[in-house]
Amino acid sequence: MRVKNIGVLAALFLFTACASIPKETVLLSQTLGSDLQILHQSHNDITDLYFKKIENDINSFVDDVYVPFVIHYALKSQLQDYKDGKPCLYSVIELAGKQEGEEEAKAAINDMQEFLEAAQNQISGKRKELLLPIKQQHSEITKSINQSYENALTANRTITAYLQSLRKLKETQQEALSMIGLQGADSLLTNSLVKVSEQVEKAVETGKKIDAQSDDAYKQIQKITNQIKEITNKKQSNGEK
């Protein structure tokens, strides 16, 4: 539809090419091209701003809720193994403390490193699970925005020579933007991202109330995880109609 509109706009200007072109045409070309470039940068800036806010909220959920849960759960599991007489971090540390030998100390250090690495891998996996969809959306929307504005700038350069006399420069700019499908693009994208940002923030605030040491902590964290994924996996509009 946008390509068709650009064609109609170009055809209209071609039809009127025989008319005299006043000096205002050059000013319109320069102003419209400049406005499009500024709007393009603003569009990308506000997109980056809102996606960064969403990513920060997700990182906050992982750091403030998921990390304490993982550490508590892992230590609780190790403690149970210790009570059951199974090999575990507690027993290795206890042995190193009693015998105070170099081998025992190395064994304790190795076990602690393995414990930390396992916890870190689980935390990193959760962070990636939640951030990957929003990073993919960010990339896709930015690419789409750039392509849309490149199409608009190309169209502007093509039709500049055929613009007619102007009375109100700004009105003509808005009409041109509307016909090539960019009018209101920034507000549409902003509204969409604001909604996503608010929903993620609300989910994270709910998640921060979870008691990491409670019996149903895993179930509650998984519920918040699914909510965030559902929100961020939705396709966001980049202002196209």
DSSP letter string over 109-140? Answer: HHHHHHHHHHHHHHHHHHHHHHHHHHHHHHHH
pLDDT band at residue 60 using 50, 70 and 90 as cut-offs: very high
Q: What percent of the chain has pLDDT over 90?
A: 11
Report whether pLDDT(170) > 70: no
- DSSP H helical ranges for the chain: 2-15, 24-61, 67-83, 89-99, 102-159, 169-179, 185-207, 217-232
Mean pLDDT of 155-182: 54
pLDDT of residue 103: 78
Q: Which of 2-6, 35-39, 123-127 has the lowest mean pLDDT?
A: 2-6
Sign for the pseudo-dihedral over CA of 190, 160, 12, 150: negative
Q: What ranges do the domains of the chain cover?
A: 2-8+30-232
CB 182 within 8 A of CB 148: yes
Q: Which residue has the higher pLDDT, 82 or 50?
A: 50
**What is the rounded average pLDDT for all residues in the chain?**
73
pLDDT greater than 80 at residue 69: yes
Quote the pLDDT of residue 241: 39
Residue 73 has pLDDT above 80, yes or no: yes
- The pLDDT tens digits for 85-120 are 777 777 777 776 777 667 777 877 787 888 888 889
- For range 212-221, the mean pLDDT: 82
* Average pLDDT of the segment spanning 26-38: 67
pLDDT of amino acid 14: 42
At residue 234, the pLDDT reads 66
Any idea which residue has 């995880």 for tokens? 225
**Nearest alpha-carbon partner for 90 in 74, 70, 102, 101:** 74
At 29, give phi and psi (nearest 5°): -60, -45
Higher pLDDT, residue 130 or 169:
130
Residue 40: closest CA among 142, 188, 172, 129: 142
Q: In terms of residues, how long is the chain?
A: 241
The confidence score (pLDDT) of residue 173 equals 54
Average pLDDT in the 176-196 region?
60
- Asked whether the beta carbons of 6 and 155 are under 8 A apart, the reply is yes
pLDDT over 70 for what percent of the chain?
A: 65
Least confident residue range of 77-81, 101-105, 108-112, 181-185 = 181-185
Q: What pLDDT does residue 184 have?
A: 53
